[in-house]
Each structure stands twice: as structure tokens, then as C-alpha cells.
Amino acid sequence: MAIIVGENTRAIVQGITGYQGRFHAERMLKYGTKIVAGVTPGKGGSEVLGVPVYDAVKEAVSETDANASVIFVPAPFAADAVMEAANAGVEVVVCITEGIPVHDELKMYWRVKEAGTILIGPNCPGVISPGKSHLGIMPSQIFAPGNVGIVSRSGTLTYQIAYNLTKLGIGQSTVVGIGGDRIIGTDFVDVLGMFENDAETDAVVLVGEIGGRDEEMAAEFIKKEMSKPVVGYIAGLTAPPGKRMGHAGAIIEGGVGTAESKIEALRKAGAEVGKTPMEVAELVSKIVKR
């Protein structure tokens, strides 16, 4: 079953005629993702990689019955692209774009909530259900089908931990990179709830980092709502106060959001926490059946 994307995902690539859109559309198609349309205003009627291009998302959805979209649109126009997809009734939107102004992120956040659309990102690597569907920029060759869900704020650490799991013979049900901006469409608690209700997920890996309270909120949810085991990893243990780790949301302010506080919260909630990406995989190997 997996979560968010799967065999029934029919995706649009918004921005498919640009370099990044075309490059990653080709990778997703080779993986087996059903890319049924592209959208670039003014380019309707053309084709990219054999995929028909439309001027508007509404038209693409009407013609192809698409239910998902992945966005490779420049930052000044990305929020409008997200809201266009939500207005067209797209169920899942994955926004890869980074550098979107916070005010624009706030507008699109409320619009997707009103529409009931699942938004992954922005500024994220995307989502993959190994062997089923991939929307985003993840290196798909490192993943393998299995029963461990991963939710992460960090793209690079997601790849490292997934690769370590795969090397140990442990596959993944779905891997979700939620993004590291201050305002994102789907957070840890949202994804943990999906994994808790997914019959194909037996355990979950949560990859966090310094800054904000998202991991502490996730710990509260784990303690109250999760029956499945969770293994955590928090990046930035040695980062000094005020240090930002590449993400807009990954900054310690006023003593809140330290790695120590997040690790303590997860452990109090019953989650095991690895000190290294390899230790995380080893902890998972003791929990799940291969």
C-alpha cells in the first residue's frame, strides 16, 4: 500500500520544459513513475520525452486524469504553481523548488489546506515508494522495497540512512523528504500518522535536525499515538547556538531546538536514537523482519 505515492499515482511535471524539469522527468520515467503530462504556460501542444505538454494544470488533469504533481518551477512563480495544482483538484503536490519567499509559502500553505491537497515541501527532495513510484530528485537506485518508512528534514541524510538500510537487506515502504523551510506543507506528525495507519510499514525512521520544535512535537505524537517502533537521528549535535544548517528552519534560537532537547524528547517517547546514520540502520535491523 505505502503512503502518498504508489502504483496508482498519475503525475504531472510542472516546469517540464526547463532543464531541471526535463532532467528529473526522464529519471522518474525510467524508474517507472507514471508521468502523464507536463505543464508549462505557452508551451501547450508540444511534447517532452513523449509526454504531452499543456498550458494549464486544469487542462492537463482533465485530459489525463492526473492525481499528483511535482513542481520544478522557479521560486518567484512556484507558489502560484502549487496553488494552481490545488485549485485543479490535484491530490498530491511535491514542490522541489527552494528559495520561495516566506510570504508566498504562507499563502500556498493555507490554500492547500483548504483544498485538502497533500503538499510535500517546498525545498525538499520529494517522495518515493520503492518499486512503485518516485516524485522528486532522490537517487532512486539506493532504495529497495520493504517495510520501513522514513521521514526526514534532510535530503542527504535520508539518502545515507536509506542506503545503509538497503545494504543490510532492509527495504523501505515509503521515504518522505518533508523539506527544511520554516513553512512546509506536511510535517513529521502528518507523516507519522500516515505510517501508523499503513499496513505495509512495520517501523519508522525519523531524521531530524536542530532548529524549531518539530521533532519535539513528533515525540509527543509518538508517545501518545504510535504503536509502531520509531528510530530517530538528529543532526547538529555539535552546532553552536545561532548556527544554521543550510535550512531556513534549522537554526537554534533562544536555546530552543537543540539536538540534545530533541534526542531527549524522542527517547522519553520510547524511540531509540542512533548517534550515526549507520547506527540508525543497525538499530532498525534489530527491530524489523527482513
Question: Which residue numbers are catalytic?
Answer: 247
Helices of type H across 91-213: 102-115, 155-167, 188-196
The candidate with the shortest Cα–Cα distance to 73, out of 98, 90, 107, is 98
Q: How far is CA 288 from CA 169, 193, 205, in A?
A: 11, 19, 12
Q: How far is CA 163 from CA 31, 134, 167, 173, 174, in A?
A: 17, 16, 6, 14, 14
In the chain, helix, strand, coil percent, each to 5? 35, 25, 40
Give 269's contacts (C-beta < 8 A, 6+ positions apart).
219, 220, 222, 223, 230
- State the Cα–Cα distance between residues 122 and 142, nearest whole angstrom: 23
- Are 55 and 15 in contact by the 8 Å Cβ rule? The answer is no
- Are 149 and 205 in contact by the 8 Å Cβ rule? The answer is yes
**Cα torsion at 173, 269, 178, 276 (round to 10°)?**
-80
